[in-house]
Chains A and B, each alone.
Chain A
Amino acid sequence: MSAIDHLFRKLRAEGRKALIPFVTAADPDLEFTAAVLAELVARGSPLCELGIPYSDPIADGPVIQASYTRALAKKVKLAEIFRMLSAVTPTLAAPVVTMVSYAIIRRHGPPQYVADAQAAGVAGLIVPDLPVEESLALTELCRAAELSLIQLVTPTTPRDRALRIIQSSSGFLYYVAVVGITGERQELPPALLDNVGWLREQSDLPICIGFGISLPEHVRQLAPVADGLIVGSAIVRRIADTAARPRHDVLQEVGDYVQSLIDAL
């Protein structure tokens, strides 16, 4: 069992839901990333998602793309990100999962990537460009290392396929709220609650919803049907101008924002 399995078991026993913030590693630098992770956990996030910058992210909207571009412009390397995580994860009262393109994993070799992630204290992987058909080998490696491999189901996924994805996923199931890329939306699709409700009937695996979520009313609407809600672009946008402002102010603003969502759970 991974740290994520333990976490959701505990949250369910306590009747609590998770607000899962996403931040981009090394935006604007790794020192800030370490500080923002600490801030997010201090505000009550029980799980954090860390985006590994990638040069060609297909599933990401302009806000997260721009954050990846900023991080890569400073030539940050995966080894440096893992080094930062090795120092930070033992101090955090919450597990960290990485969102990482399979291009990066494949380049390092899946066994090496999994070993390095495990050594850095990472609890799980979300690989947005690795469909279930291609994920068999990585699933085995993650299972052996007690890392969760979190798979995604989307509104375009046929139901028989969704069942296969649930079988293969561990830690939680990531339900993508919208047909499209990451980024804040005012309105979420009306069919969302029904689709998640159907998935719930199929499996006990915790379900977390992401893509498009940014407002307290989204949180109020979705928390009853989900184990967790993932918020990315709305946070990354608040970090985007860190270079031009005192860091303390940015941390405060991000913390207050995430707090407002947690309060809406």
Chain B
Amino acid sequence: MAPPTQLPDSAGRFGHFGGRYVPETLTAALDQLVEQYQQAQADAKFAQQLQTLLRDFVGRPSPLYFAERLTQQCGGAKIYLKREDLNHTGAHKINNTLGQALLTLRMGKSRVIAETGAGQHGVATATACARFGLPCVVYMGAEDVRRQAPNVFNMKLMGAEVRPVESGSRTLRDAINEAMRDWMASVDTTHYIIGSVVGPHPFPMIVRDFQSVIGRETLQQCQTELGRLPDVVVACVGGGSNAAGMFYPLIDHAEIELVGVEAGGRSDAAGDHAAPLCHGEPGILHGSYSYVMQDEDGQTSDVHSISAGLDYPGVGPEHSYWKETGRVQYTECGDADALRAFDTLAKTEGILAAIETCHAVHNAMQIASRRSADQVVVVCLSGRGDKDAAEVARLRGEKG
């Protein structure tokens, strides 16, 4: 078997996960994307263009920040935050959308569609499209439009059209369905900028590669600023893009423990969480074979998370592969613990982190508290939490 960093194979497989299970209508466009992406990778000008954008437009590299007071409060290992929240648009999502927007132009396509859950990917896509003058339509579950109103307005400000999706559970999964259906009819002229490491080949590979700047910078910063590698690296996992981008460059450093944190929701009961790697089984959703929450007939189950960005029944196929090989340990964090971490980080560090990110923060705090002070725990602080402030207030109001 190929070493992990050379996957996927030509059929888009990570071990036996991944692949391409989509209608024939989309196959030619996916083949074109594979070909154009390979050409772009071999083109020094493409890399240069993307690098310049990441530096001057996004503000990379993002800092690796020592969370001193959080570390004191946990009383164990040193906690460092990889500050993706400081990127332009406030999350890691922009790393991918700029890369895919450049691919859109390269393919000669003139329109972009995207799905979004928390709205961070929608905002990042709208931003990239505004930057390049591409018309942009963002599909967003109607429930998420409600939960993440500030992001909806931001997308509109940048000229994107936001289409609320009323079908199914009215969340991220349904937004992906609608984006795929749009693409079925518009595939000749439109590129679908998918926001996570999910979907049919080559999307899980492309999104991972564009997000890998997170892990590459982290490695370099650890070596130059700390003079050593981290002991543990923690990231939240919905579809799994920030985690894949953080983990992928670290995979071959076997001494680094990698921990992915899924949404534990309200309880372990089916329908109360969004943690397919912890509680699901392999199956097919949105064009790839991976862990998923589904019933005995293969029907996708409804899931729950307090965070719109993790409220997804599937996960990227490479995460399934890393789970199966044991390279990454996957665990979960419940709604209440994520909210507590949101509070703690705000009060100890003056950082409002996205509620998605707070799932990773909670587990990183637990891990740090059990380790000695000479150890280093890095958390991927994948996004900022301004978007969540109103929803957190509403939840507190309901609880009295």
Contact = CB atoms under 8 A, between A and B. Distances in A.
A157 B27 contact: yes
Contacts of A128: 23-24
Nearest to A130: B21
A59 interface: yes
Contacts, number: 117
Contacts of A161: 27-28
A55 interface: yes
Among A57, A154, A161, A176, the one with the most B-chain Cβ atoms within 10 Å of its Cβ is A154
Given A103-B298, A180-B185, A131 B20 contact: yes
A72 interface: yes
Contact of A108 (B27, B29, B297): B297
B24 A176 contact: yes
A131 B297 contact: no
B187 interface: yes
A131 B20 CA distance: 8
B58 interface: no
Interface residues of B, number: 34
B28 A158 contact: yes
Nearest to B19: A134
Interface in A118-157: 128-134, 151-157
Interface string A81-114: 0000000000000000000011111111000000
A179 B23 CA distance: 11
A263 interface: no
B287 interface: yes
B297 A129 contact: no
A56 B285 contact: yes
Nearest to A58: B180
B25 A131 contact: no
Interface in B263-297: 283-287, 289, 294, 296-297
B300 A55 contact: yes
A61 B287 CA distance: 18
A69 B316 CA distance: 26
Interface string B298-315: 111000000000000000
A69 B168 contact: yes
B184 interface: yes
A45 interface: no
B298 A104 contact: yes
Interface of A: 54-61, 65, 69, 72, 77-78, 101-108, 128-134, 151-158, 161, 165, 176, 178-181
Given A59-B25, A156-B24, A176-B24, 8 more contacts: A58-B23, A106-B289, A131-B22, A154-B23, A154-B25, A156-B25, A165-B24, A179-B184
26 contacts: A54-B299, A57-B177, A58-B181, A58-B286, A58-B287, A60-B181, A69-B168, A77-B296, A77-B297, A101-B298, A102-B21, A103-B21, A103-B284, A103-B294, A103-B300, A106-B283, A106-B289, A107-B283, A107-B284, A129-B284, A152-B23, A153-B24, A155-B25, A157-B24, A179-B25, A180-B25
